[in-house]
Copies of this chain bind each other. A is one copy, B any other.
Amino acid sequence: MRPTTETPPPPRTSAAAYAPLSATDRTRLRRGGHKQRTDRSELYALLDEGLFCHLGVIVDGAPRVLPTAYGRIDDTLYLHGSTGARSLRTDAEVCVTVTLVDGLVLARSAFHHSVNHRSAMIYGRPRVVAEEAERTAGLRALTEQISPGRWDAVRAPDRKEMAATRVLALSLAEASVKVRTGPPVDEEEDHALDVWAGVVPVRRVFGEPEPDPLLRSGIEVPRHVVERRSPA
């Protein structure tokens, strides 16, 4: 039995936000330029589908790549962390990459093997969000990224939890999207080989929800959880 009183989550993109993607020196692909996309809606779609990003920072002069949650509102990506986290310092450049793997590309030659994927790279200097309403909006976006519709169903952060959390905002102004799709591209002469070639699709699926062992009896799985689906 599913409750029917839930409202859908608000849209994450206002109509005004669809400027084309930038082409700065570092967002322009040097190799495989045909894989580059310039439509900002593709960036949004990819970010909205992902669950985790990889946050690149520099710590003690060396790169560090941290898997972490994120959320998006219009042209801003929100990240969060403990107020004590070393890697969430600001005033420094970061790179955030979100990658979705779509298929194994099996060619007739080892050289032309590949992976169909979509990836977004965002460059910039995140700012610490100070204003309380935006902090709450950012945390809401982070929660909704994990489970759309979840924020309104759960207890909101209290004062202590808010104080322990740093919310960072990263503009999506400087971003690139790369998409590899379709069958393998083999050398012409290899087509004669007696080798199977093609794509094995890779998909992310959500399994049957597993209730917390401490869940009070009589609480049904809510609709927003039941209906969580990957895009087809």
Contact = CB atoms under 8 A, between A and B. Distances in A.
B157 A110 contact: yes
Contacts of A16: none
Copies in the complex: 2
B155 A109 contact: yes
A210 to B, nearest CB: 5
Q: For this complex, into which size category does the number of interface residues on chain A fall?
A: 35 or more
Contact of A209 (B69, B194, B198): B198
Interface in A208-232: 208-216, 219-222, 225, 228
Interface of A: 26, 30-31, 51-52, 54-67, 69, 82, 84-86, 93-97, 99, 101, 104-111, 113-115, 117, 119, 121, 123, 139-140, 142-143, 146-147, 150-151, 153-158, 161, 165, 183-184, 186, 190-216, 219-222, 225, 228
